[in-house]
Amino acid sequence: LGWLGYRTRVFNVGSYRRERLGAHHREDFFAPANDSGRRAREELADAALDDLMDWMRVGGEVGIYDATNTTRARRLRVRSRLEQAGIRVVFIESVCDDPTIIDANIRATKLVGPDYAGMDASAALADFHARVRHYAAVYEPMGVGETSYIKVIDAGRRIEMDGVRGYLPGKILFFLANSHADRRSILLSRHGESAFNLEERIGGNPGLSGQGKRYADALAQFVRWRFGPTRDVEVFTSTLRRTQETAVGLPWPATAWRALDEIDAGICDSRTYAEIAAALPDEYDARQADKFHYRYPGGESYRDVIGRVEPVILEIERQRRPVLVIAHQAIVRVLYAYFRELPAEDCPYLPVPLHTVIELRQMAAGLEEERHPLVGDHADDGP
């Protein structure tokens, strides 16, 4: 949401607890019968909600209130406070009864987190299971009369919703319906060097140079080595020759997306940056001054590209197997910024060299990045 331009912030009650009271709480703190624990937790939940509301008042657009809210009374209180302040509420409830998913999730996210730092793994696991039992004892499922809500069941196996209307709530629903918690790799690559890259021309629809073809071979070898011969990899390219020629040696079919075509340089297409500076100095200077918003006459800006790439992002998010995207400089920058959660305005300046695979691995603690340069290239970063 933040990347699409909505001012979005997460208010996580667990972080308030750790910041204000320390990370030492064991399961008894969360027991419903523990009055002082319950009061402390309610105060923390209110503090996070107060901050969310303050932030919405000064221009925040989507506040994500990350709290357990396991009882109807608690949810009613949250809803009425927010609605009185004119803030629209959509609850997102994540329900999971699958012991395998629960166990994997506790191991991947809780045992490595600050609450159990330095604690024996089996003791930590038992403690967190006890905490879950405390929540379950008072839990009242989201249900009748509690619109609007989206229920994500068993980490996305099933979605239920009620009263979710409008563009933004619909977008959130769509995103939740397509996301999952499986770990996998996303590989981003530009096409191999093209005939235009050699001449420093932008856009067009050229084929690969000799060195570009060597990259295509190296890429096929690398991906096979990385995932093994039997693993299926989802391959996305643009509709342009240079990305399709780069995918040619791969053992999997590629899906070509127009949404992955390079930024449309309009009247500047097929020129060099030097030619643009000489023939259209005002355009050249305007792009230098604000590369993110600048739109080539008859073409696109980076901002436009962000809008059109979004369906592919959802498609990448949806995949459970590894994904290899072979696209173009501006497109890879945009995808990279999305997955690394970088400000959209930084896109035009991100270094994305030719002949280098950027591997992003989704881990519990966040995204891990590794860059694999496969064959040499000449510099073509542009001004």
Contact positions vs ligand F6P (CB under 6 A): 202-203, 262-263, 265, 328-330, 348, 380, 382
Structure tokens at 379: 């510099």
243, 262 Cβ separation under 8 angstroms: no
- Is residue 211 within 8 A of residue 287, CB to CB? The reply is no
In the complex, minimum distance from the CB of residue 287 to ligand F6P, in angstroms, rounded to a whole number: 8
Q: Which of 25, 328 has the CB closer to ligand F6P?
A: 328
- List Cα–Cα distances, 55 to 1, 48, 65, 76, 81, in angstroms: 16, 11, 12, 21, 14
Q: Are strands 91-95 and 62-66 parallel, antiparallel or unpaired?
A: unpaired
Q: Which of residues 69 and 246 has its CB atom nearest to ligand F6P in the complex?
A: 246
- Smallest distance from ligand F6P to CB 379, Å: 11
Whichever of 373 and 382 has its CB closer to ligand F6P, that residue is: 382
Of 381, 357, 370, nearest in space to 192 by CA:
357
**Burial class of residue 141 in the structure, from the number of CB atoms within 10 Å of its CB (0-12 exposed, 13-18 middle, 19+ buried):** exposed
Q: Which is nearer to ligand F6P, 44 or 268 (CB)?
A: 268
Is the peptide bond prior to 194 cis by the omega test (within 30 degrees of 0)?
no
Give the Cα-Cα-Cα angle 9, 12, 13 (nearest 5 degrees).
145
Residue 250 beta carbon to ligand F6P: minimum distance, rounded to whole angstroms:
21
Alpha-carbon torsion angle 237, 242, 246, 250, nearest 10: 50
Residue with Cβ nearer ligand F6P (49 or 202): 202
Which residues are catalytic, by number? 66, 96, 191, 262
Q: Which is nearer to ligand F6P, 328 or 355 (CB)?
A: 328
Strand order in the sheet with 91-95: 91-95, 149-153, 158-162
Pairing of strands 185-190, 356-363: antiparallel
Q: How far is the CB of 117 from ligand F6P (least distance, A)?
A: 43
Q: Tokens in use for 180?
A: 């999952």
Q: Where are the alpha helices (DSSP H) in the chain?
A: 13-21, 35-57, 72-84, 99-105, 121-138, 167-178, 195-199, 210-227, 241-246, 273-279, 281-289, 302-318, 329-339
Closer of 144 and 379 to ligand F6P (Cβ): 379
Both tokens assigned to 315: 């498609």
Least distance from ligand F6P to the Cβ atom of residue 20, Å? 45
According to DSSP, residue 230 is labeled T
Shortest Å, Cβ 213 to ligand F6P: 18
* Shortest Å, Cβ 18 to ligand F6P: 42
